[in-house]
């Protein structure tokens, strides 16, 4: 998407209020250029963007792109929902903002679930602010083993009804994980039960974290 595309005030009775992408074969790549906006969309999962893939692929959001005011109910991923059922890597590089999105369950701003393939997420230079989740990951929830790198990201005033107000990471796979935070800021986030700023957890594998 280029040329300051705007996708707003759309509703889906299923998934992907603003955009729905499903990959079964081949490689699927989505790029949101500077100025792209998803705002005020609503769906069951992925209020703004919904991506379900069974193959390798990527999503890139450039600086100054904005995903704001989208809603997922009763599901997850108010701003963005990504699900990877492949053994291959689906890469996320995010440089834009996630603002005031909400999900009734998990991942108010961003929800990423990888059941088998490795996680590869890079978050650069932007805001994750005032997002809300009814359960876990007010700002963001990532589920799966792999690599997460957060650089110059601001997590502020996000809220989770249970755990991980700003950021929730859980590794349910057998492989280890590496999380690196550089220049990240967590301010004013809130969780009712645990991990107001962030919560990290693993089922069987290790998490190597650098703060």
- Which pLDDT value is given to residue 32? 79
Give the pLDDT band of residue 210 (cuts 50, 70, 90).
Answer: low
pLDDT tens string 12-28: 999 999 999 887 555 66
Q: Which two tokens stand for residue 16?
A: 């992907």
pTM for the predicted model, two decimal places: 0.91
Task: Give the burial class of 180: count Cβ atoms within 10 A of its Cβ; 0-12 exposed, 13-18 middle, 19 or more buried.
Answer: middle
How would you classify the pairing of strands 140-143 and 177-182?
unpaired
Residue 197 has pLDDT above 90, yes or no: yes
Under 8 Å between Cβ of 116 and 87:
yes
Contacts with 114 (C-beta within 8 Å, 6 or more apart), sequence order: 83, 84, 90, 143, 144, 145, 146, 173
Helix/strand/coil percent split, the chain, to 5: 0, 55, 45
Question: What is the C-alpha to C-alpha distance for residues 25 and 211, in angstroms, rounded to an integer?
Answer: 38
């Amino acid at each position: 998407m280029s040329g300051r595309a705007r996708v707003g005030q759309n509703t889906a009775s299923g998934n992907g209020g603003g955009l729905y992408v499903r990959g079964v074969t081949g490689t699927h790549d989505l790029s949101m250029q500077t100025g792209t906006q998803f705002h005020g969309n609503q769906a069951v999962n992925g209020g703004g963007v919904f991506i379900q893939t069974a193959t390798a692929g990527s999503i890139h959001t450039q600086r100054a792109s904005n995903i704001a005011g989208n809603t997922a109910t009763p599901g997850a991923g108010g701003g963005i929902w990504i699900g990877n059922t492949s053994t291959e890597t689906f890469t996320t590089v995010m440089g834009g903002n996630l603002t005031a999105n909400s999900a009734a369950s998990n991942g108010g701003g961003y929800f990423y679930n990888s059941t088998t393939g490795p996680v590869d997420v890079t978050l650069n230079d932007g805001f994750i602010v005032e997002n809300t989740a009814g359960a876990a990951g007010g700002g963001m929830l990532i589920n799966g083993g792999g690599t997460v790198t957060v650089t110059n990201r601001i997590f502020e005033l996000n809220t989770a009804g249970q755990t991980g107000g700003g950021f929730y990471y859980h590794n349910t796979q057998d492989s280890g994980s590496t999380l690196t935070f550089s220049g990240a800021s967590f301010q004013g986030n809130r969780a009712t039960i645990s991990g107001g700023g962030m919560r990290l957890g693993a089922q069987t594998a290790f998490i190597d974290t650098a703060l």
